[in-house]
Amino acid sequence: MGNLKAKIKDTFWSKYDALVRDVVIPYQRDALNDRVADADPSCAIRNFRIAAGEEEGEFYGMVFQDSDVAKWLEAVAYSLENHPDPELEKEADEVIDLIGRAQQPDGYLNTFYIINGLENRWTNLHECHELYCAGHMIEAAVAYYEATGKRKFLDIVCKFADHIDTVFGPEEGKLKGYPGHQEIELALVKLFRVTKNKKYLELAKFFLDERGNDPYYFDIEWEKRGKTSHWTGGKGAAPSKSKEYNQAHLPVREQTEAVGHAVRAVYMYTAMADVAMETGDEELLEACRRLWNNIVYKRMYITGAIGSQVHGEAFSFDYDLPNDTVYAETCAAIGLVFFTSRMLEAEPKGQYADVMERALYNGVISGMSLDGKSFFYVNPLEVNPEACEKNGIFRHVKPVRQKWFGCACCPPNVARLLASLGHYIYGIKDNIIYTHLYIGSNTEVDIDGTKVSIGQETNYPWDGKVSITIKLDGAKEFGLGLRIPGWCNEAKLSVNDQELDLASAAVDGYAIIKRKWQDGDRIELDLPMEPVRVRSNPLVRANIGKVAIQNGPIVYCLEEVDNGPNLHTVVLPKDSELEVSFREDLLGGVNVITAQGEKAKVEAWGLELYKANACIEYVPVKLNFVPYYAWINRQPGEMTVWIRER
Amino acid sequence: MGNLKAKIKDTFWSKYDALVRDVVIPYQRDALNDRVADADPSCAIRNFRIAAGEEEGEFYGMVFQDSDVAKWLEAVAYSLENHPDPELEKEADEVIDLIGRAQQPDGYLNTFYIINGLENRWTNLHECHELYCAGHMIEAAVAYYEATGKRKFLDIVCKFADHIDTVFGPEEGKLKGYPGHQEIELALVKLFRVTKNKKYLELAKFFLDERGNDPYYFDIEWEKRGKTSHWTGGKGAAPSKSKEYNQAHLPVREQTEAVGHAVRAVYMYTAMADVAMETGDEELLEACRRLWNNIVYKRMYITGAIGSQVHGEAFSFDYDLPNDTVYAETCAAIGLVFFTSRMLEAEPKGQYADVMERALYNGVISGMSLDGKSFFYVNPLEVNPEACEKNGIFRHVKPVRQKWFGCACCPPNVARLLASLGHYIYGIKDNIIYTHLYIGSNTEVDIDGTKVSIGQETNYPWDGKVSITIKLDGAKEFGLGLRIPGWCNEAKLSVNDQELDLASAAVDGYAIIKRKWQDGDRIELDLPMEPVRVRSNPLVRANIGKVAIQNGPIVYCLEEVDNGPNLHTVVLPKDSELEVSFREDLLGGVNVITAQGEKAKVEAWGLELYKANACIEYVPVKLNFVPYYAWINRQPGEMTVWIRER
3-state SS, one letter per residue, for A60-102: CCCCCCHHHHHHHHHHHHHHHHHCCCHHHHHHHHHHHHHHHHH
Q: Hey, what long-range contacts does B207-210 have (CB within 8 A, 24 or more apart)? A: B207/B131, B207/B168, B207/B178, B207/B179, B207/B182, B207/B271, B208/B178, B208/B252, B208/B268, B208/B271, B208/B272, B208/B275, B208/B284, B209/B251, B209/B252, B210/B176, B210/B177, B210/B178
B246 touches chain A (CB under 8 A): no
Search chain B and give the residue with CA nearest A601.
B538
User: CA B210, CA B187: separation in Å to the nearest integer?
Assistant: 17
Listed residue (A513, A507, A508) closest to A352, CA to CA: A508
- Cα–chain center distance at B256: 22
Residues β-bridged to residue A298: none
Mean pLDDT (chain A) is 96
Is residue B43 helix, strand or coil?
A: coil
Mean pLDDT, residues A404-431 taken together: 87
pLDDT above 70: percentage of residues in chain B: 99
Residues β-bridged to residue B292: none
Mean pLDDT, residues B425-432 taken together: 95
What is the 8-class DSSP label of residue B214? S
Mean pLDDT, residues A489-512 taken together: 95
pLDDT for position A241: 85
Report if pTM > 0.90: yes
Residue A198 pLDDT greater than 70, yes or no = yes
User: CA A96, CA A93: separation in Å to the nearest integer?
Assistant: 5
**H, E, C per residue of A541-554:** HHHCCEEEEEECCE
Alpha-carbon dihedral of residues A192, A197, A203, A206, nearest 10 degrees?
A: 90
Mean pLDDT (chain B) is 96
User: CA B562, CA B555: separation in Å to the nearest integer?
Assistant: 16
- Burial of A22 from C-beta contacts in 10 A (0-12 / 13-18 / 19+): exposed
A235 touches chain B (CB under 8 A): no
pLDDT above 70: percentage of residues in chain A: 99
pLDDT in tens, B619-634: 999 999 999 999 999 9
Residues 317-356 of chain B with CB under 8 A from chain A are 317, 320, 322, 325
Cβ within 8 Å, pair A541-B568? yes
Search chain A and give the residue with CA nearest B391.
A316
Cβ within 8 Å, pair B391-A544? no
How many alpha carbons lie under 13 Å from residue B387 in its C-beta half-sphere? 24
Search chain A and give the residue with CA nearest B244.
A390
Is residue A393 helix, strand or coil?
A: helix
Instruction: Find the helix or strand (DSSP H, E) in which B532 lies.
Output: strand B532-536
Is residue B173 helix, strand or coil?
A: coil
User: CA B401, CA B409: separation in Å to the nearest integer?
Assistant: 14
User: CA A165, CA A180: separation in Å to the nearest integer?
Assistant: 17
Mean pLDDT, residues B415-434 taken together: 95
Angle at B634 between CA B631 and CA B637, to 5 degrees: 70
Residue B403 pLDDT greater than 90, yes or no = no
C-alpha distances (whole Å) from A137 to each of A58, A76, B488, B641 are 22, 13, 72, 53
Nearest to A539 among B309, B548, B602 (CB): B602
User: CA B426, CA B436: separation in Å to the nearest integer?
Assistant: 6
User: CA A483, CA A2: separation in Å to the nearest integer?
Assistant: 16
User: CA B112, CA B97: separation in Å to the nearest integer?
Assistant: 18
pLDDT in tens, B91-137: 999 999 999 999 999 999 999 999 999 999 999 999 999 999 999 99
Cβ within 8 Å, pair A384-B541? yes
Residues 287-306 of chain B with CB under 8 A from chain A are 296-298, 300, 302
Residue A171 pLDDT greater than 80, yes or no = yes
What length does chain B have? Answer: 646
pLDDT for position B405: 60
User: CA A112, CA A115: separation in Å to the nearest integer?
Assistant: 6
User: CA B209, CA B172: separation in Å to the nearest integer?
Assistant: 16
User: CA A137, CA A110: separation in Å to the nearest integer?
Assistant: 10
Mean pLDDT, residues A467-492 taken together: 96
Packing angle of the helix pair B130-148, B152-167 (nearest 10 deg): 150
pLDDT for position A405: 60
Q: How confident is the model at residue B469 (pLDDT cuts 50, 70, 90)?
A: very high
- Cα–chain center distance at B522: 32
Nearest to A550 among B535, B571, B612 (CB): B612
Listed residue (A464, A462, A485, A463) closest to A352, CA to CA: A485
Is residue B568 helix, strand or coil?
A: helix
Q: Let me know if A313 is a catalytic residue.
A: yes
Catalytic residues of B: 313, 409
Q: Where are the beta strands (DSSP E) in A528-612?
A: 532-536, 546-551, 554-559, 570-572, 579-583, 590-600, 610-612
Pure H helices in A470-595:
502-505, 560-563
Tell me the residue type at B98: L
B235 touches chain A (CB under 8 A): no
User: CA B643, CA A500: separation in Å to the nearest integer?
Assistant: 51
Q: How far apart are the first and last CA of chain B?
A: 46
Residue A55 pLDDT greater than 90, yes or no = yes
Q: How confident is the model at residue A407 (pLDDT cuts 50, 70, 90)?
A: low
Q: What is the Cα gyration radius of chain B? A: 25
Q: What is the Cα gyration radius of chain A? A: 25
Mean pLDDT, residues A278-292 taken together: 98
Out of A207-221, A258-272, A298-312, B32-46, least confident range:
B32-46
- Cα–chain center distance at B289: 18
Residue A552 pLDDT greater than 80, yes or no = yes
Cβ within 8 Å, pair B610-A534? yes
pLDDT for position A234: 85
pLDDT for position A480: 97
User: CA B480, CA A69: separation in Å to the nearest integer?
Assistant: 81
**B304 in the Ramachandran plot: left (φ > 0), alpha (ψ -120 to 50) or beta?**
left
pLDDT in tens, B15-25: 999 999 999 99
Listed residue (A376, A383, A304, A299) closest to A554, CA to CA: A304
Tell me the residue type at B172: E
pLDDT for position A232: 84
Nearest to A308 among B391, B539, B602 (CB): B391
Tell me the residue type at A339: F
User: CA A108, CA A208: separation in Å to the nearest integer?
Assistant: 22
User: CA B572, CA B557: separation in Å to the nearest integer?
Assistant: 12
pLDDT in tens, B561-618: 999 999 999 999 999 999 999 999 999 999 999 999 999 999 999 999 999 999 999 9
Chain A to chain B Cβ contacts (< 8 Å) = 152
Mean pLDDT, residues B454-479 taken together: 96
Out of A211-225, A466-480, B37-51, least confident range:
B37-51
pLDDT for position B376: 94
Residues 484-513 of chain A with CB under 8 A from chain B are 487
Is residue B478 a contact partner of residue B523, using CB atoms and an 8 Å limit?
no
Residue B284 distance to chain A (closest CA, Å)? 23
Listed residue (B367, B269, B262, B377) closest to B313, CA to CA: B262
Residue A511 distance to chain B (closest CA, Å)? 22
Is residue B484 a contact partner of residue B513, using CB atoms and an 8 Å limit?
no
Measured from the Cβ of residue B190, the count of other Cβ atoms closer than 10 Å reads 20
Q: How confident is the model at residue A403 (pLDDT cuts 50, 70, 90)?
A: confident
Residue B415 pLDDT greater than 70, yes or no = yes
Residues β-bridged to residue A382: A640
Mean pLDDT, residues B421-442 taken together: 96
Residues β-bridged to residue B458: B466
* Beta strands across the sheet bearing B2-4: B2-4, B426-429, B432-435, B475-483, B510-518, B506-507
User: CA B141, CA B161: separation in Å to the nearest integer?
Assistant: 12
